[in-house]
Amino acid sequence: MLVHPQFDPIALSLGPVQVHWYGLTYMAAFGLFLLLAARRVRQPWFEQAGWTRRDVEDLLFFGVVGVVLGGRLGYALFYKPGYYVMHPLEIFMVWRGGMSFHGGLLGVLAAMALYARRRERRFLEVTDLIAPCIPVGLACGRIGNFINGELWGRAADPSLPWAMVFPQSGSDIPRHPSQLYQFGLEGVLLFVLLWLYARKPRPIGQVSGAFLIGYGFFRFVAEYFREPDSFLGLLALNMSMGQWLCVPMIAAGVLLWTASRRRAG
């Protein structure tokens, strides 16, 4: 049975300036997005549509704003609405933690809609461009979760070779390292599948639909191994909040992918 090494969350201290591992994972995510999206715009169908490296940089700026605002507001709305109604100023205290992927996704979609409107591009053209680049950023985030020893998994059979005790949980119960499961599923595997799927031109909207389906499915599965939030527990049908948020995501992905295929046919 393994024990989480309890990494120091501060990677580097330079006088009064402290660099946190979680911040470094965000920087890695942004850097990988630039690298991958720059390769995407060199594909012939994007080049013909006039996409450039400068567009990628602008997309990153819009995306960062969207993911931070959406992630924080989504956490407040989906997970602790009562608390933040009573303490609204704490919504802006992002250093205290609390981000929602589903809220971040909505924030990014809103930011991409604004970008598309300003640049007079089709919204789904923009989301198709960025969709295969997102999973690597998610993978970076899950590594940050693991380093911080947060979002640990549910209790596991002690005989499981990779079962791990997370002292941060306040117990010596062996658990699934669910952060690493999510790193592998929502990050690495989803990236590989989407990148391969998007290597040739697809009808507009299909790559975006595939992302919604893929992320929703992998996150739904991973939630069976992740400890539900203590202040929520399991909800109806013994499903977590994360799973319930994945249901409309998968449904939207199926509808988008199907509608795109019909339009192309």
Instruction: Specify binding-site residues.
Output: 142
Spatial separation of the C-alpha atoms in residues 154 and 173, rounded to whole Å: 9
**For the chain, how far is it from start to end, CA to CA, in angstroms?**
54
127 C-beta neighbours (distance < 10 Å), count: 23
Residue with tokens 């933690």: 97
Q: What Å distances lie between residue 10 and 46, 93, 148, CA to CA?
A: 40, 19, 10
Residue 31 in tokens: 């850097």
Spatial separation of the C-alpha atoms in residues 206 and 248, rounded to whole Å: 17
Phi, psi (degrees; rounded to nearest 5) at 236:
-55, 145
For the chain, the residue count is 265
Residue 125 in tokens: 């053209």
